[in-house]
Amino acid sequence: MRFNPKRPRFLRTVNNPMAKELNNDQCADPTQELTITIPCLLAERAAAYAKETGNTLTGVVIEALDRLLREVQSSRDLAERRP
């Protein structure tokens, strides 16, 4: 996986008029480009699913990653609540 650390995640510059309008947890650009290498069979499955559902491959990957991370966070939250 590769991401570009030079691409600003947050608007923090004083000269930018939008910086004052955003909180620190809001991104200036709602997207971040990542390049990943995955097994070809997984890529084919994801592409087939995207076609079946009328989605894009990018959309399928975003939804899958979001769901996974939400489930992991939910599991952690439940574990912290247990005595």
Number of domains into which the chain is organized = 2
Indicate whether 57 and 24 sit together in one domain. Answer: no
pLDDT of residue 75: 87
Indicate whether 51 and 75 sit together in one domain. Answer: yes
Indicate whether 11 and 42 sit together in one domain. Answer: no
Q: Is the pLDDT of residue 17 over 80?
A: no
pTM above 0.85, yes or no: no
3-state secondary structure of 40: helix
Q: Is the pLDDT of residue 2 over 50?
A: no
pLDDT of residue 62: 92
Indicate whether 21 and 56 sit together in one domain. Answer: no
Please, which residues have CB within 8 angstroms of residue 36's CB and are 6 or more apart in sequence?
A: 1, 2
For residue 70, the enclosing domain spans: 38-83
Indicate whether 43 and 78 sit together in one domain. Answer: yes
